[in-house]
Amino acid sequence: MIAYKGFTKDLSARLGRGMYQFEVGKTFTEESSKTVRNGFHCCENPFECLGYYPLQSDNRYFQVEAAGSIDEDGQERIACTELTLLKELSIKELAGYGMAYIIQHPMRDKWQQSRRGILVTENEAEGLSKDYIAIARGAHPKVKGVEGAVLGVILEPERGRITSAKLFVVLQQQAGKWYTIDENRQLKEVNGEKEGD
């Protein structure tokens, strides 16, 4: 199964017995898997990796293949006996896969995020620094951020019915301005007040 995993700068990650060194493209194996106890851990929702390896540090993020014996905790974690690092992700790519996860699973409860370097919330989100991810989801979503922030808008007129979505990196001329999208994924500037006010 395809999943996501965070690592330190040198591609090491915590494992039950301590730190484990990984390499790109190589398949690593463990004898057994049980979430929180043993095996290689990864997440189905890319944003859950940020709880273990936060943004705005030297951490790195990969799309991985989890295989062998797989154990899931029903929340966020996957433990497996075989793990292969497939592709390193930029911050924008990580945000894109995270948005895709939300769109593919619109009725899952655990979609909101508020961690160092990321805010995924209902209706309004702000990217506070470069390489910060801010995503707004709702009937009237809007985002703003500083230059270099990664912003996303998910238009959802009613719960579970996502009609449009867009991800973009804030350019200098867009910095500090609120944006939303229309049904055709066209970005448009909006004032800072809530719609309907």
What global pTM score does this model have? Answer: 0.91
Q: What is the mean pLDDT of residues 33-54?
A: 88
Q: Dig out the tokens for 164 from the structure.
A: 């449009």
Q: Are residues 115 and 69 in the same domain?
A: no
Q: Which domain holds residue 117?
A: 109-190
Is residue 174 included in any domain, yes or no? yes
Q: What is the largest CA-CA distance in the chain?
A: 59
95-121: per-residue pLDDT in tens?
Answer: 999 999 999 999 998 899 999 899 999
Is residue 94 included in any domain, yes or no? no
pLDDT at position 8 is 93
Q: Are strands 133-145 and 118-127 parallel, antiparallel or unpaired?
A: parallel
Q: Are residues 77 and 128 in the same domain?
A: no
Q: Dig out the tokens for 138 from the structure.
A: 């709702």
pLDDT at position 169 is 97
The domain total for the chain is 2
117-138: per-residue pLDDT in tens?
Answer: 999 999 999 999 998 999 999 9
Q: Are residues 73 and 132 in the same domain?
A: no
Q: What is the mean pLDDT of residues 11-38?
A: 83
pLDDT at position 71 is 87
